[in-house]
């Protein structure tokens, strides 16, 4: 890709129609849909490529320019992905055509990486009729720009806790992707492919979308799958409904942790029964499991937000910063303050 930045992105995206062994005619083609991919620092390479390649496959199968794409950065320079690979772009984030849907691609630092200039350009693009979306954590940038409104949206499950702390009035969906009117968002990875297959289906029909799905070695199931994460039953390697119910309650009550008596009342199990279930299936006490769930949330908030150690301790149900720091170091091998210093240096 060319890393130079001409005056207008409109002329930067030539039609890409590679030859392939298989051909599938499309009679519905009337005009090319133009998509822009804005790469922000430390974006997730898997999510970006998973969204882009179905478009290339659609063009290849139909031998028509069904889709055109421009890959952009704020300055027109290559962008480092979270995997350490620099990706070149077609141009800078300037003079966006109104017909371009701009999809923001970011990763674990999605709440911080977009500059004020990028936010301003996004707002202007929407104000003059442009459409936007988010891939992986791209919805975080859209939230900072005030562009989500009351529409359904999502972002990667790992980054949702930090997002909610930053935007308590916005509720991300647990679904793998959301298409609400002119807003497209997805949780990244395979969900990016699923979102694009859904768009291809809308644009050119189910049969064509299934063939594109087959070329992606996707399941061929075009119905949106609801949850981003595997079920707790899979994660815990058990179908013990009482144990799953207790762990669900723990995840739902992070800031104000429940006591063992509370959990007993919620589930109808005695304290001794709860302890026996945890020893049998997880080989640890219920309170150790609960504390580790809260510590994992704390680590997410350190990475995703600019909250202080004291604020994160409270948000994760620790009344004492000293107790929080001790348990954090036991679990992760470094104190919260040392972790913060490492993040700032990185």
Separation CA 92–CA 34 (nearest Å)? 16
Separation CA 325–CA 316 (nearest Å)? 12
Mean pLDDT of the chain: 88
Q: Check residue 248 and give its pLDDT.
A: 87
CATH 3.40.50.880 assigned to 9-215: yes
Contacts of residue 236, Cβ cutoff 8 Å, sequence gap at least 6: 243, 244, 247, 281, 282
Q: How confident is the model at residue 29 (pLDDT cuts 50, 70, 90)?
A: confident
Check if the beta carbon of residue 134 is closer than 8 Å to that of residue 155: yes
Q: Is the pLDDT of residue 10 over 80?
A: no
Convert the pLDDT of each residue in 216-247 to its tens digit: 988 766 666 677 765 554 555 556 778 888 88
Separation CA 46–CA 333 (nearest Å)? 29
User: Hey, do 9-215 and 232-345 end up sharing a CATH topology, with the first three levels equal?
Assistant: no
> Which segment, 10-19, 38-47, 218-227, 328-337, is predicted with the most confidence on average?
38-47
Q: Check residue 1 and give its pLDDT.
A: 40
Separation CA 230–CA 249 (nearest Å)? 17
CA 226 to chain CA centroid, Å, is 14
Strand ranges across the sheet with 67-73: 91-92, 67-73, 33-39, 101-106, 131-136, 183-186, 177-180
* CA proximity to 117, closest of 40, 56, 232, 58: 40
Q: Which CATH number fits domain 232-345: 3.40.109.10, 1.10.10.60, 1.20.1250.20, 3.20.20.70?
A: 1.10.10.60
Q: Check residue 232 and give its pLDDT.
A: 52
Q: Check residue 314 and give its pLDDT.
A: 94
Separation CA 303–CA 299 (nearest Å)? 6
Q: Is the pLDDT of residue 8 over 70?
A: no
Strand pairing report for 131-136 and 91-92: unpaired
Separation CA 294–CA 312 (nearest Å)? 10
Structure tokens at 142: 């859209």
Q: Encode 74-104: b = buried (16+ Cβ within 10 Å), e = exposed.
A: bbbeebebbeeeebebbbbbeebbeebbbbb
**Structural domain spans, the chain:** 9-215, 232-345
pTM for the whole structure:
0.78
């Amino acid at each position: 890709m060319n890393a130079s930045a001409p005056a207008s992105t409109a002329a930067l995206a030539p039609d890409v129609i590679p030859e392939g062994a298989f051909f599938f005619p499309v009679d519905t083609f009337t005009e090319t849909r133009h998509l822009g991919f804005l790469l922000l620092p430390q974006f997730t390479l898997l999510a970006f490529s998973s969204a882009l390649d179905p478009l290339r496959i659609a063009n290849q199968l139909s031998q028509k320019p069904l889709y055109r794409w421009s890959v952009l950065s704020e300055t027109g320079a290559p962008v480092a992905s979270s995997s350490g690979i620099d990706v070149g772009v077609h141009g800078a984030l300037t003079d966006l055509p109104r017909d371009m849907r701009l999809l923001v691609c970011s990763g674990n630092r999605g709440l911080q990486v977009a500059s004020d200039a990028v936010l301003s350009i996004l707002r202007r693009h929407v104000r003059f009729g442009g459409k936007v979306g988010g891939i992986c954590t791209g919805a975080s940038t859209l939230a900072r720009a005030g562009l989500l409104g009351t529409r359904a949206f999502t972002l990667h499950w790992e980054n949702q806790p930090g997002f909610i702390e930053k935007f308590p009035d916005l509720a991300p969906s647990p679904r793998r992707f959301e298409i609400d009117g002119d807003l497209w968002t997805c949780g990244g990875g395979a969900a990016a492919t699923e979102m694009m297959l859904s768009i291809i289906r809308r644009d050119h029909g189910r049969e064509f979308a299934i063939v594109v799905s087959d070329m992606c070695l996707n399941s061929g199931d075009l119905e949106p799958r609801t949850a981003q994460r595997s079920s707790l039953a899979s994660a815990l390697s058990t179908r013990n409904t009482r144990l799953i119910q207790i762990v669900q309650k723990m995840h739902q009550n992070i800031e104000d942790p429940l006591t063992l008596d509370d959990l007993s009342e919620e589930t109808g199990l005695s304290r001794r029964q709860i302890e026996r279930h945890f020893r049998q299936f997880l080989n640890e006490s219920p309170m150790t499991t609960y504390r580790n769930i809260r510590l994992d949330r704390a680590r997410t908030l350190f990475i995703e937000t600019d909250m202080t150690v004291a604020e994160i301790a409270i948000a994760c149900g620790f009344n004492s910063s000293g107790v929080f720091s001790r348990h954090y170091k036991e679990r992760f091998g470094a104190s919260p303050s040392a972790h913060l210093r490492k993040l700032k240096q990185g």
